[in-house]
Amino acid sequence: MKKRIQRVLFFCVLMSITGCEEQAYYTDAQGSQALTFPNTNRIEAMQAAEHILGQMHFTISELDTATGTLTTNPLPGAQFFEFWRKDAASSTSLVESSLHTIRRSVTLEFSEQDTSTVARCLVLTERLNVPNRDVTGHSRANSVLTETSSSIPTMRLDQAQKDGMDWVSLGYDPDLAQSILYHIETELTDITSSK
């Protein structure tokens, strides 16, 4: 009980520090972030992107050099205590992924223009939606809470809740998209300077 109170107090302090504003998402894929990498071909840019996304713990689901498309599998959002993770680009998104079950997936599209490569980045953010369990009487009220043991907390879901679970799109995360492009640019600059 003491640990639960400490967690609630920590999140209250965290929310007061970061503010109660919502994470700024956009719903239109046309509003994606883009960056031009001068004197870089598409293959070099895609290799740098693959390396950066690997460092951010994303796994690649598709890498097509012919079309210049790179997509990742969804990655569960970083929690506040995972200081080594880089997939929460702002304090607001870190708080959100600590309070909710969030996942993010990345799509990068590369196109060549003269001697440069243009990278367009989309980061789709989704939240897990689990329907509430109806309390039909006083005797079932305790079943709404999670069941805990001395080591592992578990949550029992009835079949209706399992059937109703789904991932709800929150939109695209411009902060993380911009951060990914910045890290790719840094990686390419380091490669160029070491040649």
SS3 56: coil
pLDDT of residue 102: 85
SS3 154: strand
pLDDT of residue 138: 55
Residues of the chain where predicted confidence (pLDDT) is lower than 70: 1-31, 83-85, 89-95, 98, 132-158, 160-164, 191-195
The contacts of residue 146 (CB under 8 Å, 6+ apart) are: 153, 154, 155, 156
Dist. CA 22–CA 27, nearest whole Å: 14
Q: For residue 137, which amino acid is it?
A: G
What's the residue count for the chain? 195
- For residue 94, give the nearest of 175, 195, 191 by alpha carbon: 175
- 116-129/33-37 β-pairing: antiparallel
Segments making up each domain of the chain, as ranges? 32-129+161-189
pTM above 0.75, yes or no: no
Fold of 32-129+161-189: Alpha-D-Glucose-1,6-Bisphosphate; Chain A, domain 4 (3.30.530)
- 153-154/166-172 β-pairing: unpaired
pLDDT of residue 136: 57
Decide if 72 contacts 83 (C-beta within 8 A): no
SS3 185: helix
pLDDT of residue 71: 94
pLDDT of residue 51: 92
Q: What is the pLDDT of residues 47-101, one digit of tens each?
A: 999 999 998 889 999 988 889 999 999 988 777 777 666 777 666 666 677 677 7
**Angle (CA) 91 36 27, round 5°:** 50
Decide if 81 contacts 107 (C-beta within 8 A): no
175: which 2 tokens? Answer: 């902060």
pLDDT of residue 60: 92
pLDDT of residue 108: 93
